[in-house]
Structure 1
Amino acid sequence: MTTFWAGQEGSFLFWTLCGAIIGMFLLGYTRRHKIEYEVMSVYALVQAFLLVLLISKSPFTYLWDAHPDQVAPGAVPADGKGLNPLLQNIWMIAHPRVLFIGFAAMGVPFALAVAALWRKTYIEWIPKALPWVIFGVVWLGAGIMIGGYWAYGVLGWGGWWGWDPVENSSLIPWITGIALLHTLLVQKFTGNLARTNFFLAVLTFLLVVYSTFLTRSGVLGSASVHSFTDPGTFVYTLLVVWLAAMALLGFGMLARRWNDLKPLAGKVGLLTRESLLSISTAVLGASALIIFFGTSWPILGSSSVEPAFYDRMNLPIAIALAFILGLSLLVVWRQESAGGLVNRSAFSFGGSLLMLALLILLGLDDWTMGLLAFTSFFAFFVNLAHGYRMSKLGVLSLGGPLSHIGLALLFLGIIGSGRYGQKETASLTKNEAKEVLGYKLTYVGSQPTGDGKWKFVVDVEREGKAFSLEPVMFKSTYNDQIMRNPDYASFISRDFYVEPVSLEEGEGHDHSHNLIEVKKGETATIGDMEVAFLRFDMNDHAMEGMTAASGFPVTAVLDVRRGGRTEQLRVVTFYKEGNEPDARTTMLKDGKIGFQVLNMSIDPSRKASMIQINVHGLEEKGVEAAKPEMLVIEASVKPFIGLIWLAALLMTVGLSFSLTSKLRAARNSGETRPHRNLHHEVPHSGIQHKKEEVTDPA
């Protein structure tokens, strides 16, 4: 079933189907609220563009028409190519489906916003739009996190988010959707930020369309492992026209009504909830802008932006966001409440200091990570206390606190798993125990799995506890490449993760090489040689003559000392997306002994690196080659990565509670006073605001 949406054509069809189903519910929704004509006109236009894309890239095209040089007219293959083995996973059944529902849902706030500008109902649209904004954010966010969980368990690089341009293109509209949710609440309670809300509603959908353009137009090329191939000039042009048309419609209507959307007069204090939420919106906007810039860079430049750029730029944003996440709940709407702020924050502030002290005792040694941890704990404790108070009003009132607690835990999980994770490449000789990252590992052999794959059983012991991991390797008929699936064990405070790298088979196979592992700055001995690993050279000028098709070269600089003489070697390995590393052999001057770098591991947090060197020709010098079967693995420890999955669950559940609450509220069209021009709005009474402030879960 996953193959339905695995390609360009099928995913367009599924997106269109999701939009049609959502449109059926939207039709009844708008009919009840007497806004059917305007909203459905705009929404139908969105669907029309999808239909044109679907017609131009149809999944029902005959094979001989799509591939005339490969399939004879009328020929029916005995079997199809099938799905990439890495996508044959239960989470890939859900990930694209959930993501496309989120994409389709984001068209509804866009249609509601344009219709509100059309009808000049600048206030009434808020309660009608809030459920749909939350609905889109829930599905889009859940799709992103399911994709991250799939990547962590299947791809084998030990992470769940790699700042890939296609991943980012889904994240950006989620961020702006979250910003829209909060600015709608500001307008609901204070009457301000109307212009911001219409701008964000239009922008969020445009970013969904832009993500489609990035993914499907072929402009990313090799910058993303997820992008589709070039769909052709017509589809490329159609995507650009769709993006331009939606921008012209949305921003054109906003420009036309701009003067009607004047902010309310009056001074707004800094320590009010609306001010802090406005600041948080600006912070979210800065993050979205940074990610947008980095994601779009391959279109403008010749290379993609490194993940470190996103990490570095988003760190201060995360710190500010976590702090505001807590502080905003210690103040009230529309009036400054600095008095007593210290007392209200004492519990959360003190608890955060205690937790920070504990982390320092456990090894936290980076002040920026410490600041992020402190603000995240501050947000956690404030929302925990707020959730306790809100729980008296019913479970649905916990939507906001649960979502905010989830975000705080997400930041803490990122600190633990990202900044303080450990990684090491190791060679495990069969039936011989080896200490790796504090765990005793024993490779006990391989077993067929029954579906053409092989699992490699590794027994693990630590502190008296024993368990087995079974990473998988197999040669795929899909692309004639070696595929690898990791295995890991989860504990309360960490995951232990093992990725298979290669198998060095034993008796009856080629023994003309030996393996050694050398850390940067250290020396290893093999036979009558001493091999020192000096450094990596990522920009070796000797590679200038190589073509781009060869891949990205990484050069390891070695000093080989033998018989009183030292010879420096530059050993090159080429890395290319979707292919096995191409390890080139560099020979000593005698032409009899050669060196290859098979694997490398880099730990940025400890500024350490290690390479595995394959040494050829040792037998000719009387050195016996390694004969036992050997499994090469990359092991890693991910502290507190479980917090990331818990955070995703809490945010999804919390937003779902908020969605249910808003749907109930939207049934009462009199929830908000009808006013066509904001500068004529009569503010709600203090009693009404107090009631709404307590019961509003978001």
Structure 2
Amino acid sequence: MIHTTVGQLGHFFVILSFVTALVATVAYFISSLGRRTAKQAIPVEEPQLAYAGESSFGGKTAKRKAPVQAASPSAPEKDDWKKLARWAFYIHGAAVVGVAASLFYIIYNHYFEYHYAWSHSSRALPVHYMISCFWEGQEGSFLLWLFWNATLGVILTRTSGSQWEAPMMTVFALVQAFLASMILGVVFGGTFKLGSSPFLLLSEAMPDAPIFTADPTFVPKDGNGLNPLLQNYWMVIHPPTTFLGYALTLVPFSYCIAGLWRNEPFAWIRPALPWTLIGGLVLGTAIMMGGYWAYETLNFGGYWNWDPVENSVYVPWLVLVGSLHAMLIAKRSSTGLKTTIILSISTFLLILYSTFLTRSGILGNASVHSFTDLGLSGQLLVYLLVFVGLAVVLAVSKWKYIPTDEQEASVYTKEFWLFIGATVLCLAAFQVIATTSIPVYNKILESFGKVSNLALPADQISHYNKFQVWFFVVIALLTGVGQFMWWRKLENKKWDALITPGIITLLISAGLIAFGSIKNPVYMALLVASVFALVTNGTILLGIVRGNYRLSGGAIAHMGMALMLIGILYSAGYSKVISINTSGLLISKQDEFTKNDNKENKENTLLWLNQPERMGTYQLTYRGQRIEARDVPGYIPRKDVMVIEGDFHGIAQRDIEQNGKVYHKKGDTLALYPENTYYEVEYREPSGKVFSLYPRAQVNERMGLLASPDTRHKVDRDIYTYVNSVPDPTAENKWEKTETYSVAIKDTFYLNDYVAILDDVVRTNEVEGMEIGPTDAAVRARVRVLSKTGEQTLSPAFVIKNRMVAHPAEMSDELGVRIQLNEIDPRTGKFTFAVNRTQRDYIVMKAFEKPLINVLWVGTLIVILGFLISAVRRYREFSKMRDKMI
């Protein structure tokens, strides 16, 4: 049965959200016109009108023009339009919730007749991964963005104050109309398509598929499932956090546009400042969540790969942090005010540009995880250009209301250092976005009939690093000097206060460089700058907490940033491969034709099942394949379960026991997690301590081998392990042609290149899977196999039961052997064995040591704390001011 009702309801909610967003935009716009601002303004001193008065940048005073508000000519009419706008926006928010609920209902109930559910989900996925399915596709991610914008919009209608609500929410509602159009899925004239609907039926999405010609009501039994790389708990929380960060950049943008619109280029900063701080906190947290997801899930050996999609979030965040610092000096500097306006507008526009980059398909193969084009590239471009045009035209037309300083900044003012810091952040952002946009340059030139030979850097990590390292050396130094300036520790043009922190910095840095054997001058510079930032901000923090801890947010955030830089320096700059291949075996044939000095052969270790190998100070042993059962903690041996392919269930081949508790008896059916196979690698430390890591891999028909690492976290370092090559875990063993051996007791023969000795043949009453009665007979051979790691005994049986002969085989994955006792000749005393050989179980793995990586994660948490303290403080200031005005 086709469940069309829920899809129709969802599509209705999409249309309703689009229409109500347009209604809210028009109504808020008309309400804003009712609150006209006089075009002529008179100078007013700051004590008379907060944040509209004098500027003391560089010791001189520059009067600002503060507009005088004119009374509204028709207050009742204005209130009616605002009331209509509010209700329209509330209905819009409810409609967005309705769309989200409808789509999740379809995914959760496995309505695979819908293209979105079929493309992104499957019956095997647990509930938390079904949530990830919701935003794996473009339509779902746009819907998530819509939801956060609607949520913030509702909050702002209640908290922004009457003077800001109408102009600011006009911008908000217009953005929502554009976003809602992205999932509208309406076709005009049979050719023009507006948006891509998440409620499209499979038969509508693929009308030419032969299956629908034969059976128009066909519904797949299962879906394609979630991308294996996204089957990670960080993917449940990382995308919502990212899109909340996207949504938060709209708040300062809307306040800024509203301030320019009302000819009040300064007053908007105070209400926008706490939102900017929250936006910096959330977007920065999302970036690090993505980095941690990459570290846990991808196998490039790190947490940041300078992928274009990573860059497209990193750049707006840098500009957002730059705008935050510009806001802090806007009160006293017209340069800071102009910079604040430009950067607040640029942050949101860069979010739109990033969306265009990652969702238009323009990046092509330049990114490993950008979206493909759904035919929305033109619509995305219009979305971007509309807001670029509106923002630029408005800013240019209102520039005359921004005052000008009479004297340039002095290097002995805090405003100067904050401005320089914001500038360096923006330069760092520009360097990244300029390179990331190379595919855009090529496309523009191609549209004019030109052929472009521009290409992204072959080694993008080294390309970006060689610039970004120096930018952050400067930023780290500026945080120290800037904080001393901010708290007036450097007065009367004297720098004496920096002498003691400077000496401490040099002593600590010299010790770290000497004991850490740091020889790279670039790394030395970054280390010294980071330690300087840590020491200077720590000094400031000690002074602040004695007074008012609420003022400590900036110092704490800067200290966290310094720790992050130190963590990045050591974990990335001094990451060491410990899986050095000393066997002499050629692991990768590709290196024969490359110039990387057999890097892959040198840095990968081949491990045979249960055969220990030395790796640095560790002894490694591969212990076999493991799988996950839904109701059993940890991992269970794959051979203990007969997996039913395509059913996500298995049958226990023996009792499933963990930690002394039996979860399933032999023969029970148990539910399994899909697709992934884990490979237990046992590490034995020199002290004798043993621990195991479980890197996972999936042999995917569409994507090849998908490997994810496992990590052992220590205080001073991580041991990071992943597999590079494995036998196909879904393939059955391919046994070679049967070989026979007739041997007497104590004779020697060969099994798969191993020496084997028949030690004895003895009577037995126990044969697995058989009941031996009093009239039956059974014997078991004891075949001792010698290998370089020791001995192993194989015990094939020979059974006579009810006058029938059985030859139960004995198999060894470790030896790659299956052996049967086929004949017993009492006349000659010879025993005949049938032997088959197969590929032994193995893995090729790579392992790193990443020193001090926990310093990076700790620094991230400290940065978040600093942002949070600052945001709470600034919001309290704004609330007090708003309450006074009321």
Q: Tell me the TM-score normalized by structure 1.
A: 0.76
Residue 311 (structure 1) aligned with residue 465 (structure 2) = yes
- Partners of 1:189 and 1:356 lie apart in 2 by 40
Q: How many Å separate the matches in 2 of 1:505 and 1:20?
A: 47
Q: Are 2:717 and 1:494 aligned?
A: yes
Note if 1:456 corresponds to 2:674.
no
Contact 1:345 1:382 in 2 (8 A): no
Secondary structure of 1:34's match? helix
Aligned position for 1:263: 404
**Partners of 2:331 and 2:337 within 8 A in 1:** no
Where in structure 2 are the equivalents of 1:342-491 lying within 5 Å?
342-423=496-577, 424-450=603-629, 451=673, 452-464=675-687, 465-476=689-700, 479=702, 481-491=704-714
Q: Which amino acid aligns with 1:242?
A: Y
Q: Aligned equivalents of 2:697 and 2:271: distance in 1?
A: 51
Aligned residue identity for 1:445: G
User: Is 2:334 aligned against 1:204?
Assistant: no
Aligned residues: 557
Aligned to 2:202: 63
Q: Is the 8 A contact 2:697 2:723 kept in 1?
A: yes
Higher relative contact order (CA 8 A, sep 6+): 1
Q: Are 2:277 and 1:277 equivalent residues in the alignment?
A: no
**DSSP-derived class of the 1:495 partner:** strand
Cα separation, 2, equivalents of 1:398 and 1:374: 23
Kindly state the Cα deviation for residue 140 of structure 1 after the two structures are TM-superposed. 1.1
Of 478, 481, 495 in structure 2, the residue corresponding to residue 341 of structure 1 is: 495
Identity %: 33
Distance 1:395 1:244, change over 3 A: same
Q: Is the 8 A contact 1:189 1:333 kept in 2?
A: no
Alignment check: 8 A CA contact 1:414 1:641 kept = yes
Secondary structure in structure 1 of the residue aligned to 2:691: strand
Q: What SS is found at the alignment partner of 1:331?
A: helix
Give yes or no for the alignment of 1:242 onto 2:383.
Answer: yes
The DSSP-based 3-state class of the residue aligned with 1:122 is coil
User: What SS does the aligned partner of 2:546 have?
Assistant: helix
Distance in 1 between residues matched to 2:503 and 2:370, nearest whole Å? 45
Q: 1:49 aligns with which of 168, 175, 178?
A: 178
Most deviating of 151-160 and 77-86: 77-86
Q: CA deviation at 1:448?
A: 2.9
**1:471-519 deviations in whole A, cap 9, x for unaligned?**
1223346x3633222111111211111111123699976899xxxxxxx
For residues 59 and 481 of structure 1, what CA distance do their matches in structure 2 show?
Answer: 28
Deviations 1:313-342 (A, max 9, x none): 112111111100111112247997365523
Q: What is the SS of the residue equivalent to 2:200?
A: coil
Q: Secondary structure at the match of 1:283?
A: helix
Q: How do 1:284-295 residues align onto structure 2 when only pairs under 5 Å count?
A: 284-295=425-436
Change (3 A) 1:241 1:461: same
Alpha-carbon displacement from aligned partner over 1:3-37 (angstroms, at most 9, x marks no partner): 1111011111111111111100111122x252111
Specify the alignment match of 2:875 in structure 1. 663
> Per the alignment, in what secondary structure is the counterpart of residue 78 of structure 1?
coil
Q: C-alpha deviations, 1:594-635, integer Å up to 9, x for none?
A: xxxxxxxxxxxxxxxxxxxxxxxxxxxxxxx99754321011
What is the SS of the residue equivalent to 1:498?
Answer: strand
Amino acid at match of 2:695: P
- Uncovered stretches (5+) of structure 1, i.e. residues with no partner: 513-624, 674-698
Distance in 2 (CA, whole Å) between partners of 1:415 and 1:87 is 28
Alpha-carbon distance between aligned partners in 2 of 1:471 and 1:411, rounded to the nearest angstrom: 28
Give 1 or 2 for the bigger CA radius of gyration.
2
Change (3 A) 1:504 1:3: closer
Q: In structure 2, do the counterparts of structure 1 residues 268 and 631 end up closer, same or farther at CA, with 3 Å as the change threshold? A: same
Within 5 Å, give how 1:125-164 maps onto structure 2.
Answer: 125-164=268-307
Residue type at the aligned position of 2:456:
S
Query: Please, which runs of 5 or more residues in structure 2 have no aligned partner?
Result: 1-130, 185-194, 443-453, 578-602, 630-672, 738-836
Q: Which residue of 2 aligns with 1:213?
A: 356
Cα distance in 2 for residues equivalent to 1:186 and 1:74 = 65
Alpha-carbon distance in structure 2 between the residues aligned to 1:480 and 1:201: 41
SS in 2 for 1:636: strand
* 1-structure distance, mates of 2:204, 2:840: 53
Asked if 1:22 is matched to 2:165, the reply is no
CA contact (8 A) 2:484 2:490 kept: no
- Counterparts of 2:149 and 2:512 in 1: how far apart (Å)? 49
8 Å contact kept, 2:229–2:298: yes
Distance of 1:290 and 1:390 partners within structure 2? 35
1:75–1:361 Cα change, 3 Å: same
**Conservation of the 8 A alpha-carbon contact between 2:361 and 2:370:** yes
Structure 2 CA distance, aligned partners of 1:498 and 1:338?
A: 56
Q: 1:332 to 1:5 in 2, by over 3 A?
A: closer
Structure 1 residue aligned with 2:227: 84
Distance 1:360 1:511 in 2: 59
Aligned amino acid, residue 491 of structure 1: K
Larger deviation, residues 356-365 vs 3-12: 356-365
Contact 1:428-1:442 within 8 A present in 2 as well: yes
Say if 2:625 and 2:677, in contact at 8 Å, map to a contact too.
Answer: yes
Q: Counterparts of 1:508 and 1:201 in 2: how far apart (Å)? A: 61
Cα gap change, 1:445/1:76 in structure 2, threshold over 3 Å: closer, same or farther?
closer
Q: Report the secondary structure of 2:182's partner residue.
A: helix
After TM superposition, give the deviation of residue 470 of structure 1 in Å. 1.4
Query: 2:208 and 2:864 mapped to 1: Cα distance?
Result: 48
In 2, the alpha carbon distance for the partners of 1:321 and 1:470 equals 40
Q: Offset at 1:652?
A: 1.4
**1:511–1:401 Cα change, 3 Å:** farther
- Is 1:36 equivalent to 2:165 in the alignment? yes
Task: Report if aligned partners of 1:326, 1:378 keep a CA contact under 8 Å in 2.
Answer: yes
Mapped to 2, the partners of 1:294 and 1:345 lie a distance apart of 39
Q: Tell me, in whole angstroms, the C-alpha distance in 2 between the residues paired with 1:338 and 1:467.
A: 60
Distance in 2 of aligned mates of 1:358 and 1:371: 12
Report the Cα offset of residue 189 of structure 1: 4.6
- Shift of the 378–297 alpha-carbon distance from structure 1 to 2, 3 Å rule, reads same
Structure 2 vs 1, CA of residues 268 and 335 (structure 1 numbering), >3 Å: closer, same or farther? farther
1:641 aligns to what? Answer: 853
CA deviation vs aligned residue, 1:564-587 (integer Å, no higher than 9, x gap): xxxxxxxxxxxxxxxxxxxxxxxx
Deviation at 1:185, TM superposition (A): 0.2
Q: Aligned equivalents of 1:35 and 1:116: distance in 2?
A: 8
Check the 8 A contact 1:133/1:181 in 2, yes or no.
yes
Q: How far has the Cα of 1:417 moved from its partner?
A: 1.2
Residues 1:255 and 1:79: Cα distance change in structure 2 (over 3 Å): same
Which amino acid in structure 1 is aligned with residue 294 of structure 2? A
Q: Provide the TM-score with structure 2 as the length reference.
A: 0.60
1:617-656, aligned counterparts within 5 Å? 629-656=841-868
